[in-house]
Amino acid sequence: MNNRILTLALCIGLCLAVGFAGSTFTPEPGSWYYTTLNKPEWNPPDWLFAPVWTVLFIMMGTALAKVLGAGWQKREVKAGAALFAIQLILNLGWSASFFGMQSPMQALVVIALLWIFIVLTMLAFAKVSKPASLLLAPYLAWVSFASFLNFTILQLNP
């Protein structure tokens, strides 16, 4: 039981650490880059992003812990963990692209790849744990929304 709690804590901690790393690219309130971008009127308020991402990162870490709990020796677990790692890196890459490099176009490419790898991760996780796969569904939904928002911002800022 203690191993499961430790694994869960480490997995959630990993995801939250990646989220924190991504937030270092996020501009300070009033930053010229983000505030000067034209955004659609349905753009969520800035205050919403941190709590949504926190919940999503906790769910992602929980999903990873469920899969790892099935046993690292299993090929399906290793495959799922590898795909999870790739999508986690892409998640960080989106923040670096959109905010750090100030490139909505590059960010759109990254978020498209992220979306694909979330789906692949969900499919791999489903082979090990259906609940783990389902824990990623809100993440996929949010990234789908974020993809459309990224696309729209790109269109509004030629």
Domains parsed from the chain with CATH numbers: 2-156 (1.20.1260.100)
Average pLDDT over residues 135-156: 97
The pLDDT score that the predictor gives to residue 111 is 98
Residue 137 has pLDDT above 80, yes or no: yes
- Whole-number Cα distances in Å, 12 to 5, 7, 57, 94, 106: 11, 8, 7, 20, 28
> In whole angstroms, how far apart are CA 39 and each of 84, 94, 158?
30, 17, 12
DSSP class of residue 26 equals S
pLDDT tens, residue by residue, 107-133: 999 999 999 999 999 999 999 999 999
Closest listed residue to residue 83, CA positions, set 50, 128, 141:
128
User: Which DSSP symbol is given to 1?
Assistant: -
CB atoms within 10 A of CB 119: 15
* pLDDT band with cut points at 50, 70 and 90 for residue 30: low
CA separation for the pair 109, 96 (Å, rounded):
12
> DSSP letters along 43-80, please?
PPPHHHHHHHHHHHHHHHHHHHHHHHTT-TTSHHHHHH
Q: Can you read off the two tokens belonging to residue 126?
A: 């489903």
54-103 pLDDT tens trace: 999 999 999 999 999 999 999 999 999 999 999 999 999 999 999 999 99
Encoding tokens for residue 152? 């729209």
* HSE-CB for 154 with a 13 A CA cutoff: 16
Confidence band of 33 (pLDDT split at 50, 70, 90): confident
pTM across the whole model? 0.93
Which of the four pLDDT bands, split at 50, 70 and 90, describes residue 28?
Answer: low
Instruction: Name the range with the highest mean pLDDT among 4-8, 29-33, 47-51, 123-127.
Output: 123-127
